[in-house]
Chain A
Amino acid sequence: MNVQRLGRAFFADPATAAGTIIVAGFLTLALFGPLVAPYSPTAQNVDLIRQPPSPSHLFGTDRLGRDLFSRIVYGARDMLALAGGGTALAVIFGTLIGVSVAYLGGWLEELVFRLFDGLLAMPALLLALLLLGAVGPSRVSVLLVIVVVYTPIVARVARSVVLTLKPRGFIEAARMRDERLSYVLWRELLPLVAPTLAVEAALRFSYAIFLVASLGFLGVGVQPPNPDWGLMVLEARNEFALAPWSLYVPAAAIALLVIGVNLMAEGVRRAIGES
């Protein structure tokens, strides 16, 4: 695959470029949060409760007098770390399991994928709630939940590609050459599975953002006073009429990041297809 051609195809579309800029913007906020945020995300000011947006508080303040802009900036760190980290781990584990088990086949494949089918039979959010109920709410738990929820999905996608490649001649030739298993899996199969997984990873990332936000909104994800965007929406729900900005700001942040990631995912899919 020609990387230059892939890059050109990716950035040729303005929507993809916009998505990339949005995601890059959030990444910048996440990486340089302490330099960008004017206040601590948890600092309260009893005299500045529910202040509307102003030059000193760009996104206004919430019911406890906390600066919403600072909370959004720091919240981007949590969101990208949890959704991005969880997705990356799910893709790694899903790929390892999916490629190797699908190639080996037999009773192991039956066992692993029937187990995954069982997990996939449950809606992702329900499964996440069940897992969080068992391990308790924390950042690590949310990360773990994303990995458990998305690993079977990635593994299924990887398996479907491997099953189409397995009967092909070049795999047969590798076997005839008595190549090691690791060579067949990672040198022969993985490069051909990777493009599909890249699209899948981008999609999983956007779903993971929703999942993290949903868990925060349901109060079972990241705990207060951490500036989790979903939690911020939950906390602002009852005071929409008093301080609408405290609801709009985190909701807009979630929507914008998901749109950005989706546009990027579409760009990846299209670029791979074209190249």
Chain B
Amino acid sequence: MNPSDERLHVLQMARSEVLAGRMSRRAFLRLGLALGLSAGATALVACGSATPSPEPTAAPAPTQSGPTGRLRVASEIPVQLDPAFASSDAEILILNHVYDYLVDIDAGNNVIPRLAREWTMSDDGLRYRLTLADGVYFHDGSPLTAADVVWTFNRLRDRSLQLPTADLYANIADITADGENAVVFTLTTPNPFFLYDLSDNHALVLRAGVTNPATAFNGTGPFKVVEYRTENRIDLAAHQAYFQAGKPAIANLEIIFFADQAAAVDALRGGQVDLVLRMPTPLFQTLQQTAGIVTVQTPTNGFDLVRLRADRTPGNQPDVIRALKLATDRQAIFRQVKAGLGAVGRDSPIGPLFSAYYSEETPIPPRDPAAARALLAAAGYPNGLKLDLHVPDSGDRPDLAVVLKEQWAEAGIDINVIVEPESVYYGDNGWLEVDLGITGWGSRPVPQFYLDVMLVSGAVWNESHFSDAEFDALAATARTTLDEAERVRAYREIQRILIERGPIIIPYFFAQLSAHREGLRGYVAKAFPGRTDLAVIAV
């Protein structure tokens, strides 16, 4: 039984109650309206008609089963709303509802249709043909065509614009429209993760030729922008012509900006917002004890990375790297810093959620500060090692730094913790320069991303400056092979290398912590909160 049939069924039962004298006609009409039926339709049921017919004058008006209600979501403050440059949760959250991706990623990390309703890949893995959904319209009323998709992706890979996606799409040889509603991507080398690349956070489809993408807000997405007040809020209304049936479920979406996550949580407790998509661990633990609030923790592939530069002293000495690893108690860090929420890490970005790729074949040596001290002495540091540890002030990272300082002190490693605002830590690429740092890496649906941008020689964000020929060869194999078994083998070897000699420590994978008020239906947390689908939530 579909929802409208259900409503009709309830109404017909209520009609029996009216006829039996157990319910007033006024109460019956109120029930009909509450169920989303018009007064006229309710009256028709009351009069005995089995199927309410449309009202004569109701052509363009909202349908009885249309979106209803208002959802208020707390968010951090967005800065950049051009999809090609946006990166934060707050920015992607807004854009994900104003625009559409070609394909999307579900909570289980599977590729699912969005603007592209189906796709095929050639046998050699070099040609992808995606067919667009029918009846897709931009908010200005113009229809979506393949030309819009071609324009969008050509913009994203245009090196002259210096967009962060140029590297990601460097493997694309050509993009062409195949008629009005199909697009063909031709690659230079096979990429088994290409569909995931098409769902990159920046890859929201724009209207071809748009000149001001940061302010135009002319998308095909489930919501239209009504009003955007910088650093305050953005109000959105349902896109009535949205192509996906049943979406959006709500008529109005308000995304309210908070500079402080504690304030956002207070707003949830006070009833000023309905949903908070992410928060620090202690606030989450506080909400777990709050009546009327539903807390949701979702495991993710995101992690905090402790890394030492491997291209200069002292990180270029393998014994120093081994000493840091031996001095670290990952289990204790997980308990102290993350309160046991998430998963313990194994110094590799390939976490337990990447089920087949994840391996525990290579054991992590148990913590041994004395052995670490001996290794440092062998490396030429008999009196210990003194290092500055740079850490951004976001999340639980300062606590991680403090716990590491205490643990490493036992091995003779004296850490000077320097907590910096994120803007300072990442500003002028300082995070790529410092010897010892802690960087947060958000969750991605496939592990290859981390290897390609963070660990292969010369990678754009290779903050540890790690360079290992065996690792690079394995990463290249995993990136290009169409043989899944071969990729699994490569990923397992990669994990062994990183545990044995990688200049990185990954003490934990964090959980995505969110909370909403009771009565919200349909909320599914995503590992990257900005990609949460608010269009399916009903209030």
User: A residues within 8 Å of B by Cβ?
Assistant: 42-44, 46, 49, 63-65, 136-137, 219, 223-225, 235, 237-242
B401 shortest CB reach to chain A, Å: 7
Q: Which of B282, B283, B419 contacts A224 (CB 8 A)?
A: B419
Please measure, in the bound complex, the distance between the C-alpha atom of A42 and the C-alpha atom of B401, giving whole angstroms: 12
B residues in contact with A43, CB < 8 Å: 406
A107 shortest CB reach to chain B, Å: 41
Contact of A64 with B403 in the complex, beta carbons under 8 Å: yes
Contact of B417 with A238 in the complex, beta carbons under 8 Å: no
A residues in contact with B283, CB < 8 Å: 238-239
Question: Given that A46-B335, A64-B403 are known contacts, is A225 also in contact with B417, CB under 8 Å in the complex?
Answer: yes
Contact of A225 with B402 in the complex, beta carbons under 8 Å: yes
B residues in contact with A241, CB < 8 Å: 286, 289
- B interface, by DSSP: helix, strand, loop or mixed? helix
Contact of A42 with B336 in the complex, beta carbons under 8 Å: no
A residues in contact with B332, CB < 8 Å: 46
Please measure, in the bound complex, the distance between the C-alpha atom of A242 and the C-alpha atom of B265, giving whole angstroms: 14
- Which residue of the partner chain A has the closest CB to B329? A46
Contact of A44 with B419 in the complex, beta carbons under 8 Å: no
Contact of A44 with B403 in the complex, beta carbons under 8 Å: yes
Contact of A237 with B262 in the complex, beta carbons under 8 Å: yes
B507 shortest CB reach to chain A, Å: 13
B417 shortest CB reach to chain A, Å: 6
Contact of A64 with B402 in the complex, beta carbons under 8 Å: yes
Please measure, in the bound complex, the distance between the C-alpha atom of A136 and the C-alpha atom of B430, giving whole angstroms: 14
1/0 per residue B218-248: CB within 8 Å of A? 0000000000000000000000000000000
Q: Which of B262, B336, B418 contacts A49 (CB 8 A)?
A: B336
Interface set, chain B 388-415, CB cutoff 8 A to A: 393, 398-399, 401-403, 405-406
Please measure, in the bound complex, the distance between the C-alpha atom of A225 and the C-alpha atom of B399, giving whole angstroms: 9
Check: B24 CB closer than 8 A to any chain A CB.
Answer: no
Please measure, in the bound complex, the distance between the C-alpha atom of A237 and the C-alpha atom of B393, giving whole angstroms: 14
Please measure, in the bound complex, the distance between the C-alpha atom of A182 and the C-alpha atom of B399, giving whole angstroms: 54
B residues in contact with A137, CB < 8 Å: 418-419
Question: Given that A46-B336, A238-B280, A242-B282 are known contacts, is A224 also in contact with B402, CB under 8 Å in the complex?
Answer: yes
Check: B110 CB closer than 8 A to any chain A CB.
Answer: no
| 8 cross-chain pairs, A with B, having the tightest CB-CB distances, nearest first | A239-B282, A241-B286, A225-B402, A238-B282, A46-B332, A224-B402, A44-B406, A238-B283
Contact of B406 with A223 in the complex, beta carbons under 8 Å: no
B residues in contact with A224, CB < 8 Å: 398, 401-402, 417, 419
B275 shortest CB reach to chain A, Å: 19
Check: B480 CB closer than 8 A to any chain A CB.
Answer: no
B269 shortest CB reach to chain A, Å: 10
B residues in contact with A237, CB < 8 Å: 262
- Which residue of the partner chain A has the closest CB to B405? A225
B residues in contact with A219, CB < 8 Å: 393, 419, 421
A residues in contact with B403, CB < 8 Å: 44, 64
Question: Given that A46-B335, A46-B336, A49-B336 are known contacts, is A223 also in contact with B418, CB under 8 Å in the complex?
Answer: yes
A196 shortest CB reach to chain B, Å: 40
- Which residue of the partner chain B has the closest CB to A240? B286
Chain B residues within 8 Å of chain A by Cβ, number: 24
A residues in contact with B262, CB < 8 Å: 237-238
Check: B429 CB closer than 8 A to any chain A CB.
Answer: no
Q: Provide a sorted-by-A list of 7 A–B residue pairs whose CB atoms are within 8 angstroms.
A: A46-B336, A63-B336, A137-B418, A224-B398, A224-B402, A235-B398, A238-B280
- A interface, by DSSP: helix, strand, loop or mixed? loop
A67 shortest CB reach to chain B, Å: 13
Question: Given that A63-B399, A223-B417, A223-B418 are known contacts, is A239 also in contact with B336, CB under 8 Å in the complex?
Answer: no
Check: B285 CB closer than 8 A to any chain A CB.
Answer: yes
Please measure, in the bound complex, the distance between the C-alpha atom of A235 and the C-alpha atom of B417, giving whole angstroms: 15
- Which residue of the partner chain B has the closest CB to A40? B406
Known pairs A42-B405, A43-B406, A240-B286 / 14 extra A-B pairs, C-beta < 8 Å? A46-B332, A46-B335, A49-B335, A63-B282, A64-B399, A65-B336, A137-B419, A219-B393, A223-B418, A224-B417, A238-B280, A238-B283, A239-B282, A242-B286
Interface set, chain B 310-335, CB cutoff 8 A to A: 332, 335
- Which residue of the partner chain A has the closest CB to B424? A133
Please measure, in the bound complex, the distance between the C-alpha atom of A152 and the C-alpha atom of B332, giving whole angstroms: 49
A246 shortest CB reach to chain B, Å: 10
A residues in contact with B289, CB < 8 Å: 241
Please measure, in the bound complex, the distance between the C-alpha atom of A169 and the C-alpha atom of B37, giving whole angstroms: 97
Please measure, in the bound complex, the distance between the C-alpha atom of A257 and the C-alpha atom of B282, giving whole angstroms: 29
B residues in contact with A225, CB < 8 Å: 402, 405-406, 417
Please measure, in the bound complex, the distance between the C-alpha atom of A131 and the C-alpha atom of B421, giving whole angstroms: 16
Contact of B406 with A239 in the complex, beta carbons under 8 Å: no
A226 shortest CB reach to chain B, Å: 9
Question: Given that A42-B406, A49-B336 are known contacts, is A223 also in contact with B419, CB under 8 Å in the complex?
Answer: yes
Please measure, in the bound complex, the distance between the C-alpha atom of A65 and the C-alpha atom of B417, giving whole angstroms: 19
Q: Which of B286, B335, B393 contacts A239 (CB 8 A)?
A: B286
B232 shortest CB reach to chain A, Å: 23
B residues in contact with A238, CB < 8 Å: 261-262, 280, 282-283
- Which residue of the partner chain A has the closest CB to B407? A44
- Which residue of the partner chain B has the closest CB to A49? B336
- Which residue of the partner chain A has the closest CB to B393? A219
A residues in contact with B401, CB < 8 Å: 224
B residues in contact with A49, CB < 8 Å: 335-336
B residues in contact with A42, CB < 8 Å: 402, 405-406
A residues in contact with B336, CB < 8 Å: 44, 46, 49, 63-65
Please measure, in the bound complex, the distance between the C-alpha atom of A224 and the C-alpha atom of B286, giving whole angstroms: 24
A residues in contact with B285, CB < 8 Å: 239, 242
B residues in contact with A239, CB < 8 Å: 282-283, 285-286
Please measure, in the bound complex, the distance between the C-alpha atom of A63 and the C-alpha atom of B336, giving whole angstroms: 7
Residue from B280, B282, B416, B419 whose CB has the most chain A CB atoms within 10 Å: B282
Please measure, in the bound complex, the distance between the C-alpha atom of A65 and the C-alpha atom of B280, giving whole angstroms: 18
B residues in contact with A65, CB < 8 Å: 336
A residues in contact with B398, CB < 8 Å: 224, 235
A residues in contact with B402, CB < 8 Å: 42, 64, 224-225
Please measure, in the bound complex, the distance between the C-alpha atom of A44 and the C-alpha atom of B261, giving whole angstroms: 26
Please measure, in the bound complex, the distance between the C-alpha atom of A136 and the C-alpha atom of B286, giving whole angstroms: 34
1/0 per residue B262-276: CB within 8 Å of A? 100000000000000
B276 shortest CB reach to chain A, Å: 13
Please measure, in the bound complex, the distance between the C-alpha atom of A219 and the C-alpha atom of B332, giving whole angstroms: 25
A residues in contact with B282, CB < 8 Å: 63, 238-239, 242
A70 shortest CB reach to chain B, Å: 14
Please measure, in the bound complex, the distance between the C-alpha atom of A213 and the C-alpha atom of B335, giving whole angstroms: 29
1/0 per residue B374-400: CB within 8 Å of A? 000000000000000000010000110
Please measure, in the bound complex, the distance between the C-alpha atom of A137 and the C-alpha atom of B418, giving whole angstroms: 8
